[in-house]
Amino acid sequence: MRRFGLLLMMLIAAALPVLAVSESAPEDLDHNHRLLDRYRADPEHYARLVRDLHAFQSLPADRQEKMRQFDRALHEEDSDTQKRLWEVLERYVAWVDRLPDADRKNLDDAAEPTEKLDVVRDLRQKEWIERLPEAERKDLLLMSAPMQAKRVAVLREEERKNRQEWADWANALKTRSNPGSRPKRPVRLTDFPEGVQTFVTKLLTPMLSDEEKERLKKAEGKWPRLANTILELSEKRPVLPALPTGPTERFNQLPKETKDFLSNKKKALEELRKSAGKWPQYALDVTELMKKEKRPLPPLGASMPAEFHENVQTFLKEKLEPTLTADEKAKLRGAEGRWPDYPQRLLELAHKHNLIVPGMTLPGPRELWNNARAALPDVVRIKLEDFARTEWTDEDRAKFQRAGDDPDEQLEMLKDAYFKKYPDELKRLRRLDQRGPKVSKP
């Protein structure tokens, strides 16, 4: 695909809905016409949009439909994925534009997507080899294809490790130069306060399913995705302390009466094996099963104040109880001896009164979690640029210039203005962000 075609793909999401006003919903027509008037004020930009629209309309019908499908699929991704894919596409356009004519022809001649990917990989590897030291490059070129592939894999892994070591060194140097500071927008677990790191690694992660662990892993490197993922998972998987004798997470640890009853329940035992070895999930599953069977079961976790760690007992006496109403105290006492009711009621009341239960509630500054919840989704750069060019007044631009030189603050200010103009888009992106990405990150 020629560079013009690639740029057309990049611009279709912004240009097509505006220029193809005949396809717009009635309530969008006035808005689209106003945008067109603003585009006409920039003749060069307007001419490019018209040219791109004509190029799109000149494509075969099946090609047009593929591009529409691409546009719809892209806009159904969460904000992080949209931003990442647009950036990949922009880098790809710039890379194709720099290719020699012969290499670009090989790329254009590749008809199938898999064939095109193979050509891209070959060209990228050729460029990578050309950047190697001369001695290493000569050795590679003398090798057979299989040996060359193995050697390239080794060299790439060494390069990856070196980059990581440099990044770790830079982060450590930054921390040593300002030891008391932490990022305002943490994107890695190590960016969070030590209490949060301990909570996530020691308490939260062991309770997570494989799917949830993968979700937590994929959130690394993104603000506010990682913070919100930690927050959401901590609410979904509350910390329920075990009995002083230890966690009940296997069949042989259950009370004798419970084991006798379950011994004849083959289907139930099969289900329970799925959570065996996992606290508190195994105990929760057993408790739910016995409740359905209307069979008695002693508490499988801490359900009396004396069964909790000393710091929780101190918290109860000195912090929580003094804040509770008479009705709340009665509800908490009424849950004593019932599991998981009592620890759940304890967490519920602590949350209501903005208190952190030691070892049970996600720690960290409340401001951090509030900022994560309130953070705006990412917006593709080309959309923000188009918004600033066509919809900002001179007063808006003056405010932006007075915001200072902090690029993060400038970006947040621009996103804030964008979403104030398009509140439905904010709702849509937040809904997609809660769902997570459809496309797997390579």
Asked, for residue 155, whether it belongs to a domain, the answer is yes
Helix (H, G, I), strand (E, B) or coil at 294: coil
User: Cβ atoms within 10 A of the Cβ of 402, count?
Assistant: 7
Asked, for residue 26, whether it belongs to a domain, the answer is no
Whether residue 328 is predicted with pLDDT greater than 90 in this model: the reply is yes
Q: What is the pLDDT of residue 178?
A: 55
Q: Is 0.85 surpassed by the pTM of this model?
A: no
Q: 145 lies in which domain range?
A: 134-177
One domain, residues 234 and 255: no
Which of these, 361, 340, 229, 237, lies nearest to 291 by C-alpha position? Answer: 340
One domain, residues 207 and 162: no
One domain, residues 247 and 295: yes
One domain, residues 209 and 249: no
Distances 323 to 52, 349, 355, 406, 426 between C-alpha atoms, Å: 65, 10, 10, 42, 37
Residue 306 vs residue 113, higher pLDDT: 306
Please tell me the least confidently modeled range out of 140-144, 159-163, 311-315, 426-430: 159-163
CA 71 to chain centre: 21
Asked, for residue 70, whether it belongs to a domain, the answer is no
What is the 8-class DSSP label of residue 272?
H
Question: pLDDT-based confidence at 227, cuts 50/70/90?
Answer: very high
Whether residue 90 is predicted with pLDDT greater than 90 in this model: the reply is no
Which of these, 153, 167, 161, lies nearest to 221 by C-alpha position? Answer: 167
Q: Give the DSSP per-residue string, 114-132.
A: HHHHHHHHHHHHHHHHHTS
Whether residue 288 is predicted with pLDDT greater than 90 in this model: the reply is yes
- How many residues are given for the chain? 442
Span 247-259, mean pLDDT? 96
Residue 200 vs residue 77, higher pLDDT: 200
Q: What is the pLDDT of residue 31?
A: 64
Last residue of a domain, one of 283, 301, 319: 301
Helix (H, G, I), strand (E, B) or coil at 436: coil
Asked, for residue 81, whether it belongs to a domain, the answer is no
Asked, for residue 36, whether it belongs to a domain, the answer is no
Whether residue 417 is predicted with pLDDT greater than 50 in this model: the reply is yes
Whether residue 9 is predicted with pLDDT greater than 60 in this model: the reply is no
Span 400-414, mean pLDDT? 77
Asked, for residue 261, whether it belongs to a domain, the answer is yes
Please tell me the least confidently modeled range out of 78-87, 361-370, 394-403: 394-403
Span 242-256, mean pLDDT? 96
One domain, residues 249 and 294: yes
The total number of structural domains that make up the chain: 3
Whether residue 346 is predicted with pLDDT greater than 90 in this model: the reply is yes
248: exposed, middle or buried (Cβ count in 10 Å: 0-12, 13-18, 19+): buried
Q: At what angle do helices 381-391 and 407-421 cross, to 10 degrees?
A: 70
Asked, for residue 211, whether it belongs to a domain, the answer is yes
- The H helix count followed by the E strand count for the chain is 23, 0
Q: What is the pLDDT of residue 403?
A: 67
Asked, for residue 391, whether it belongs to a domain, the answer is no
One domain, residues 234 and 246: no
Q: What is the pLDDT of residue 7?
A: 46
The pair of structure tokens assigned to 289 is 């099963």
pLDDT for 43-52, tens place per residue? 887 888 888 8
